[in-house]
């Protein structure tokens, strides 16, 4: 029988395990152990400050020990840090720490590799190796923050993998990160990203999950979206938009954030803007434009002028339009560049090398 790992058991469940073991004050002990792991960074039994007899009793009910080993690190000129972690079975994942004036954001992987093979993403070329366990995800977050000497304020599941393919594991990891007895990251500051898995979006909405959800759209033209994202053949735009409308109806006070990788000659022309206006009419959303990061040979990155022209045309949609600064892109840390099989520097091409900020506020600017 496989024992539950101490690093991925929530305090209430842990208290039940300790009570079943006949230990005294199981609730208090469970909270103490949880804090030791998730606040103080304990990785082994010896780090928990327990007597040997108690450690032995716990070891009969719980597994514990590090699940990752450090395999590399790179620091970008803008302060972005990328950590390469080796898993026990030899697979590798990457975690990125992004800094700005007010926040410290961890970009976490949810899978080793990815099955979706989006045309603009380096991770998809690896294929799917496996899902990450919740404890592996949380350990990558905890150890990356500790190595960087920071307390993470935000978490985004936008690293390697499709988070909603690993729905249960990612939601459990988010609960571990949000627990007030651990990292205590606000649910409003934990973001799950998806390429548009309609059944999982509907499940997310119907379960009333508290996390933010960002949806990768990249085009509202079916043929273009299929070219960029093969998953669009399974879940076409009408089905995806219907799921987004249900999500919006169930969370009326929240904006839906749509991610849009901007690629010249592919999805930045007037017909693309027309399609967005046609398909998304009546939906309350933010369009998060991400200049393409040269993750492969098939496309080129846009120039700053091309990005500015595109976002200016997007104003007529009447939605907030933002341009995401992708930290560490020169060093292969930017959006779509993660690929734990390599540590070579990624090409820079025509990247937008400084954060351009927000082009419009809520509503239309003249």
**Which residues does 66 contact at the CB level (< 8 Å), separation at least 6?**
43, 44, 139
- Say what the pLDDT of residue 364 is: 30
- Say what the pLDDT of residue 360 is: 32
Q: What is the dihedral of CA 287, 291, 292, 293, to 10 degrees?
A: -130
- Say what the pLDDT of residue 273 is: 98
Domain with CATH 3.20.20.70 in the chain: 68-331
**Average per-residue pLDDT in the chain?**
89
Please report which confidence band the pLDDT of residue 185 belongs to, taking 50, 70 and 90 as the band edges: very high
Averaged pLDDT for residues 44-56 = 95
Of 255, 350, 257, give the one whose Cα is nearest residue 307. Answer: 350
Please report which confidence band the pLDDT of residue 340 belongs to, taking 50, 70 and 90 as the band edges: low
Catalytic residue, chosen from 94, 136, 162, 306, is: 94
- Say what the pLDDT of residue 247 is: 98
**Domain 68-331 annotated CATH 1.10.287.620:** no
Tens of pLDDT along 278-320? 999 999 999 999 999 875 678 999 999 999 999 999 999 999 9
Contact criterion met (CB below 8 Å) for 59 and 45: yes
Active site residue 94: yes
Contact criterion met (CB below 8 Å) for 222 and 237: yes
- Say what the pLDDT of residue 343 is: 39
Averaged pLDDT for residues 128-149 = 97
Using the predicted structure, report yes or no on whether residue 154 has a pLDDT greater than 80.
Answer: yes
Please report which confidence band the pLDDT of residue 331 belongs to, taking 50, 70 and 90 as the band edges: very low
Of 342, 266, 364, give the one whose Cα is nearest residue 74. Answer: 342
DSSP secondary structure string, 251-289?
Answer: STTSPEEEEEEE-TTTS-SHHHHHHHHHHSTT--EEEEE
- Say what the pLDDT of residue 101 is: 83
Tens of pLDDT along 225-234? 999 999 999 9
Tens of pLDDT along 242-283? 999 999 999 999 999 999 999 999 999 999 999 999 999 999
Q: Which of 321-330, 338-347, 350-359 has the lowest mean pLDDT?
A: 350-359
Contact criterion met (CB below 8 Å) for 81 and 96: yes
Longest dimension (CA), the chain: 71
Contact criterion met (CB below 8 Å) for 182 and 33: no
Catalytic residue, chosen from 107, 121, 319, 335, is: 335
- Say what the pLDDT of residue 203 is: 98
Using the predicted structure, report yes or no on whether residue 153 has a pLDDT greater than 90.
Answer: yes
Alpha-carbon distance of 174 to 176, in angstroms, equals 5
Using the predicted structure, report yes or no on whether residue 342 has a pLDDT greater than 70.
Answer: no
CA-CA-CA-CA torsion sign (166, 168, 170, 171)? positive
Q: What share of the chain is helix, strand, coil (3-state, %, to 5)?
A: 40, 20, 45
Active site residue 31: no
């Amino acid at each position: 029988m496989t024992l539950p790992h101490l690093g991925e058991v929530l305090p209430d469940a842990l208290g039940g395990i300790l009570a079943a073991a006949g230990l005294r004050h199981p609730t208090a002990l469970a909270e103490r152990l949880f804090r030791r792991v998730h606040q103080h960074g304990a990785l082994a039994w010896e780090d928990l400050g327990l007597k040997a007899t108690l450690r032995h009793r716990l070891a009969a009910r719980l597994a514990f020990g590090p699940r990752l080993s450090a395999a590399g690190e790179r620091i970008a000129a803008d302060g972005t840090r990328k950590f390469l972690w080796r898993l026990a079975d030899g697979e590798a994942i990457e975690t990125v720490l992004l800094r700005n004036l007010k926040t410290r954001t961890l970009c976490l992987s949810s899978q080793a590799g990815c099955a979706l093979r989006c045309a603009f993403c380096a991770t998809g070329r690896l294929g799917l190796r496996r899902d990450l366990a919740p404890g592996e995800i949380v350990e990558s977050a905890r150890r990356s923050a500790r190595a960087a000497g920071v307390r993470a304020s935000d978490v985004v599941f936008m690293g390697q993998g499709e988070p909603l393919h690993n729905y249960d594991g990612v939601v459990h990891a988010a609960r571990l990160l949000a627990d007030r007895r651990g990292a205590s990251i606000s649910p409003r500051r934990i973001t799950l990203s998806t390429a548009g898995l309609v059944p999982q979006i509907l499940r997310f909405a119907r379960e009333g999950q508290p996390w933010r959800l960002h949806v990768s759209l990249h085009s509202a033209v079916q043929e273009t979206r299929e070219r960029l994202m093969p998953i669009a053949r399974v879940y076409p735009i009408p089905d995806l938009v219907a799921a987004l409308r249900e999500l919006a109806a169930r969370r009326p006070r929240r904006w839906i954030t749509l991610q849009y990788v901007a690629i010249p000659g592919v999805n930045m022309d007037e017909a693309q803007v027309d399609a967005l206006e046609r398909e998304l009419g009546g939906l309350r959303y933010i369009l998060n434009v991400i200049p393409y990061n040269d993750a492969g040979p098939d496309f080129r990155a846009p120039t700053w002028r091309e990005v500015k022209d595109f976002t200016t045309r997007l104003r007529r949609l009447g939605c907030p339009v933002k341009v995401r600064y992708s930290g560490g892109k020169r060093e292969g840390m930017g959006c779509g560049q993660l690929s734990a099989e390599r540590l070579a520097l990624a090409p820079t091409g025509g990247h937008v090398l400084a954060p351009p900020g927000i082009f419009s506020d809520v509503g239309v600017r003249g």
